Amino acid sequence: MAHRYFLSQLNNTTAVVDGAEAAHLIKVMRIKPGDTVVLTDKTGYDYTAVAQEIGKDSITFEVLSKEKNPAEPTVNLTVYMALPKADKLEFITQKMCELGAARLVPFVSEYCVAQKSKKDDNKITRLQKISDEACKQSGRSAPMTVEKTATFKEILPQLESYDKVILFYERGREKLSGIDFSACKNVAVVIGSEGGFSEKEAARMVEKGAVNIVLGARILRCETAAVTGASLVMYCLGQLE
């Protein structure tokens, strides 16, 4: 697969790449006029482009063609992830983007060991960079958006806006194979942290429309549950066939 780069400006058949993307192309890839690359616009389209002018910190390209990115999912998946410890969220961010999620919403639940902090904005900036890189690596054009860490109270009303909300919970009563996803275009999955969810939290999410699903007989680590749960839902949505 060709290397992919985010464009900064697009005007008809002219595209500009600057900032860190241009620096990588100039200093690492040693791009020269006439070299062809694939540019992406973060909205689902790819552009085959030829380098024309290479400046100190920007590159101007001639766009040869525009195509809808075939790797972008046709459904929107939002992952609500109860805040895990240490660097687990970085791993989860990378994998959720690779699997095709549109949004990742970290939140604090009752049993979370990790909590929101004053450095939260810096962490989100780093997580978004991880998502951007995972987007390019996996052949996508639109990076998954990483939201600021929310509270449990803040995410509750959001759950009502989806076609289907899948709550993976060790005390779940239903199986994913019994869920009808045929008319779903906007789906959410909810994953617990190391401590899982309290019965009260699970009940409140079910009141908002979440379907309480058991993810097998074994208790999975939160990062394993995130990857497994998102993969299974995307498969059910026809996005991993």
Query: What's the pLDDT band for 113 if we cut at 50, 70, 90?
Result: confident
Conformation bin of residue 152: beta by default, left when phi > 0, alpha when psi is -120 to 50: alpha
Of 232, 44, 62, 223, the C-alpha closest to 142 is 44
At 118, the pLDDT band (50, 70, 90 cuts) reads: low
| Residue whose pair of structure tokens reads 């109860």 in the numeric block | 82
The yes-or-no verdict on residue 30 having pLDDT over 80 is yes
Whole-angstrom Cα Rg for the chain: 20
pLDDT > 90? residue 199:
yes
pLDDT confidence bin for 61, thresholds 50/70/90: very high
Q: Write down the pLDDT at residue 167.
A: 96
Tell me the pLDDT band of 10, cut-offs 50, 70 and 90. very high
User: Is 38:2 a contact under the CB 8 Å cutoff?
Assistant: yes
With CA atoms as reference, report the closest residue to 135 among 104, 166, 110, 98: 98
Domain made up of 76-236: CATH architecture: 3-Layer(aba) Sandwich (3.40)
The reported pLDDT for the residue numbered 220 is: 87
**Ranges 128-132, 161-165, 211-215: which has the least confidence:** 211-215
Cα distances from 211 to residues 40, 106, 128, in angstroms, run 36, 20, 29
Neighbour tally for 3: CB within 10 Å:
13
Taking the CA atoms of residue 68, residue 74, residue 76 and residue 82 in that order, the dihedral angle to the nearest 10 degrees is -100
Give the model's confidence band at 219: pLDDT under 50 very low, under 70 low, under 90 confident, else very high: confident
CA 41, CA 16: separation in Å to the nearest integer?
Answer: 11
Average pLDDT value over all residues in the chain: 92
CA atoms within 13 A on the CB side of 104: 31
More confident of the two residues 230 and 112: 230
Q: Which CATH number fits domain 4-68: 2.40.240.20, 2.102.10.10, 3.40.50.80, 3.30.413.10?
A: 2.40.240.20
Q: Which of 109, 88, 41, 104 is nearest to 69 (CA)?
A: 41
Every domain of the chain and the residues it spans: 4-68, 76-236
Mean pLDDT of 6-21: 93
Q: What is the pLDDT of residue 2?
A: 63
Rounded average pLDDT over 85-114: 92
Tokens standing for residue 216: 């097998």
